[in-house]
Amino acid sequence: MDIEKANLEAVSRMMEARPVVVGMGKALDVIPGMQEDMLLHAGPPITWERASGPMRGAITGALIFEGKAEDEAGAQKLVESGQIKLDPCHHHQSVGPMAGVICPSMSVYILENETHGNKSYSNLNEGYGKVLRYGAYSQEVLDRLRWLEEVLAPVLGEAIVSSKGIDMRALLAESLHMGDEGHNRNKAGSIIFTTKLAPYITKAAPDPETAAEIIRTLGDNALSVLNPVMAACKAMVDAAHDIEGSTIVSVMARNGTDLGIRISGLGERWFTAPVAVPQGLYFPGYTAEDSSGDIGDSTITETAGIGGFAMASAPAIVTFVSGTPKDALNATLEMYEICSAEHKYFTIPPLDFRGTPTGIDIRKVVEKGITPRVNTGIAHKDAGVGQVGAGLVRPPMEMFENALVAFAEQYGF
Amino acid sequence: MDIEKANLEAVSRMMEARPVVVGMGKALDVIPGMQEDMLLHAGPPITWERASGPMRGAITGALIFEGKAEDEAGAQKLVESGQIKLDPCHHHQSVGPMAGVICPSMSVYILENETHGNKSYSNLNEGYGKVLRYGAYSQEVLDRLRWLEEVLAPVLGEAIVSSKGIDMRALLAESLHMGDEGHNRNKAGSIIFTTKLAPYITKAAPDPETAAEIIRTLGDNALSVLNPVMAACKAMVDAAHDIEGSTIVSVMARNGTDLGIRISGLGERWFTAPVAVPQGLYFPGYTAEDSSGDIGDSTITETAGIGGFAMASAPAIVTFVSGTPKDALNATLEMYEICSAEHKYFTIPPLDFRGTPTGIDIRKVVEKGITPRVNTGIAHKDAGVGQVGAGLVRPPMEMFENALVAFAEQYGF
């Protein structure tokens, strides 16, 4: 068996994938395997008992949103009794930032990989401040979700269809030349996305005031494109999954308690370990004491060769995640050490347009003792609070070692 | 007399200027000193006889647009007979890219410097391809100008007023963190501008289709913000002009034949010299043989501390103007040698957020033998053709020497 050949195949598929946002739909209607009594969440499988504060908060908020619970105690009862099932987004071709909770009646972006035909999904970005994905579920959070659902989603969905789709690989290639890294900095991508859709939104909206409010909502939120970006990365890595003999990481995701990875050549198995706490900059009034463990499916960006791996493209991000522009450059340079390829379409101007480090090879991670670098938001450890900062984190080495042992066992080395 | 103190005052005024786009109006109605029988143009004063091909083409197009001429021969007659007067944009608080021709019935952006109260003006950007500013004046050029004038301008003007104005210094500070340098690369700035105005455009437009077309026109044109950026720079440098004893350059502009500079401490005098031909990348089918001499008021960006001076912020620009990202970095580093200050608000992430080199000091230019570096578009040398490339150029040293001699004479050194 030729691991190099298998990895080349996996990474080529990852890079040649061309995910296009083609529309929106209700999670229950469009996400494969989604059920009326199910909530999807970030990271590997989790129970209520082991769930972190922000995950419990987001589950609570989602069940209130669905009209199934009234408070955290009610949510806990539904989940612990099995009346509501929790399942990872990743088991359903989906991804969600931070707690990543997607409930049946939520609208989601639908992406189609035009090269390989697979689809992927992610929910709407709620913006900053008190938001469900960080575990907040106050009335303002729910009102906002309702507005997104009832007013924004139908118009945005129609606008996307009229636009004939937004090519996310092209958008990312462009935004990486505009100071984004695609995970924690999506300023350029979000306004490219808004600018492309705004003409269609004007025509899809019931009236000019609604059009204006929707365009402003997308344009003022520097993370509005994060969810479609994550879904695009999911479509890319899914195209690279299940390549016999490949040691490439095809999923890396955290639920606030555990971080889990999957390997292209090792099927549906998760390799998990307890999450670390991110290091970074905290909002006024908060410190590392307040921080939840690392959480969210957004590490799908690093898995696909952007995010922390493309930090050299985004020197201005250090004002948000700490460090210096030199650190940002070094982060990318270090990641070449553990990656299988340089991206064909995502290039870094300050590095003479070198392709981003793409396709984490668990053999290199273990051999060199270098774990992936991840940019991330930081959630408060308690349910109901929200974001308290942003920073950098590395997944534990243990998972990569375990995955490599499993690979050796499965393939008989 | 304390030159250092005078220069500090000039550069402080330049940096503290805060130009805001506050509305639009017809050139004849709003530009100070504009007359019915006058055309404004880029650079220092010029006659028809000495005008370059693209300048003659743009003058011809503008006179056809005004209904005053039918062809180039007719335009020539009107200008040479004195029935139509040519006057530099810079004599009227205005600037225009390339030929920079502004005619009486054209709509212009109105900017107000909120710090010092002075106003500035620039026309609408026509986009790429065959456009008046590059000297093209075919029917499609005129039809486009008519559409901009009749459909876009009234809506955009109303949208700007409803928005309470667009703060151009803030926009530039942000776009410099997004890979723009503000002269030849305005991708980020143009979509920031579009995104901010789109909600107001939806409400100002007569119908959703028109709103969509206007938003698309602004959003698809990566130079749509160039003209307001140039006007913003004009407002900044005007605030720094006429400081007794200052050796700071307050105007640098080319008409395709001559490049002219003005010095803060030397009043309204122009110091001119023949323009150079830019070095750069040509569009398919064109070579340096086809190139007009350096043209346009857009060197106002370098005069205000951005453009070629901020190239380190915009490594991706080298795909357009030639060179490597390292050259872009070096261009900025070199400009610190001839500038009086580092910008307080315009910072460069790859240089650890160092302020852009700001305020060209003619003493340093002459002493160090380093002329300013300018990013520019390249026009075809003949009237009626248009853009043939983009590149880099330096103004001739001679003007700076002459200005320094004049300074010594005036101030009695």
Domains of chain A: 241-411 (3.90.1700.10)
**Chain B residues lying within 8 Å of A319, measured CB to CB:** 353
Backbone angles phi, psi at B377, to 5 degrees: -80, 160
Q: Are A162 and A198 in contact (CB under 8 A)?
A: no
Is A198 in Cβ contact with B219 (below 8 Å)?
yes
Mutate to test the interface with A, among B158, B163, B164, B177 (most CBs of A within 10 A): B177
**Chain A residues lying within 8 Å of B179, measured CB to CB:** 177-179, 188, 349
Query: What pLDDT shows up at residue B387?
Result: 87
Query: What pLDDT shows up at residue B256?
Result: 95
Report the C-alpha gap between A20 and A278 in whole angstroms: 32
Count other Cβ atoms within 10 Å, centred on residue A153: 21
> pTM higher than 0.90, yes or no?
yes
Q: How large is the average pLDDT for residues A88-113?
A: 98
Is A198 in Cβ contact with B195 (below 8 Å)?
yes
Kindly report, residue by residue over A203-254, the tens digit of the pLDDT.
999 999 999 999 999 999 999 999 999 999 999 999 999 999 999 999 999 9
Report the C-alpha gap between B198 and B195 in whole angstroms: 5
Q: With a threshold of 0.90, tell me whether the complex ipTM lies above it.
A: yes
Report the C-alpha gap between A16 and A344 in whole angstroms: 8
To the nearest whole Å, the CA of B61 is away from the closest chain A CA by 31
**Chain A residues lying within 8 Å of B213, measured CB to CB:** 199
Of A212, A316, A326, the CB nearest to B199: A212
Confidence band (pLDDT; 50, 70, 90) for A392? confident
10 Å CB burial of residue A127 (0-12, 13-18, 19+) is middle
Task: Please list, in sequence order, all residues whose beta carbon lies within 8 angstroms of the beta carbon of residue A249, skipping any fewer than 6 positions away.
Answer: A261, A262, A263, A264, A303, A359, A360, A361, A362, A372
Kindly report, residue by residue over B246-289, the tens digit of the pLDDT.
999 999 999 999 999 999 999 999 999 999 888 888 988 998 88
> DSSP assignment, residue B149?
I
One DSSP character per residue, A240-278 reads: TSS-TT--BEEEEEEESSEEEEEEGGGTT--EEEEPPPP
Q: Are B321 and B281 in contact (CB under 8 A)?
A: yes
For A311, nearest residue in chain B (alpha carbons): B350
To the nearest whole Å, the CA of B309 is away from the closest chain A CA by 17
Backbone angles phi, psi at A19, to 5 degrees: -75, 130
Task: Please list, in sequence order, all residues whose beta carbon lies within 8 angstroms of the beta carbon of residue A53, skipping any fewer than 6 positions away.
Answer: A135, A256, A292, A379, A380, A381, A382, A383, A384, A385
Strand A166-167 with A119-123, pairing? unpaired
One DSSP character per residue, A122-139 reads: EE----SSS-GGGT--SH
Q: Are A411 and A1 in contact (CB under 8 A)?
A: yes
To the nearest whole Å, the CA of A146 is away from the closest chain B CA by 21
To the nearest whole Å, the CA of B180 is away from the closest chain A CA by 8
For residue A99, give the nearest of A52, A61, A184, A42 by alpha carbon.
Answer: A42
Interface of chain B toward chain A, CB-CB under 8 angstroms: 174, 177-179, 187-188, 191-192, 194-196, 198-200, 202-203, 205, 208-209, 211-213, 215-216, 219, 315-316, 318, 324-326, 349-353
Of A211, A219, A325, the CB nearest to B350: A325
Of A195, A215, A350, the CB nearest to B199: A215
SS3 at position A355:
strand
Beta strands in A141-181 (DSSP E): 166-167
**Chain A residues lying within 8 Å of B352, measured CB to CB:** 324-326
User: Among A31-35, A176-180, A386-390, B32-36, which stretch is predicted with the lowest mean pLDDT?
Assistant: A386-390
Tokens 């992610």, residue?
A122
Q: How large is the average pLDDT for residues B151-155?
A: 98
To the nearest whole Å, the CA of B106 is away from the closest chain A CA by 25
Position B323 pLDDT exceeds 90: no
Confidence band (pLDDT; 50, 70, 90) for B5? very high
Work out the angle at residue B251's Cα, subtended by the Cα atoms of residues B248 and B252, and round it to the nearest 5 degrees: 105
Kindly report, residue by residue over A247-285, the tens digit of the pLDDT.
999 999 999 999 999 999 999 999 999 998 888 889 889
- What is the average pLDDT score of chain A? 96
Position B183 pLDDT exceeds 80: yes
To the nearest whole Å, the CA of A186 is away from the closest chain B CA by 10
For A185, nearest residue in chain B (alpha carbons): B178
- 3-state SS, one letter per residue, for A298-315: HHHHHHCCCHHHHHHHCH
Query: What pLDDT shows up at residue B191?
Result: 98
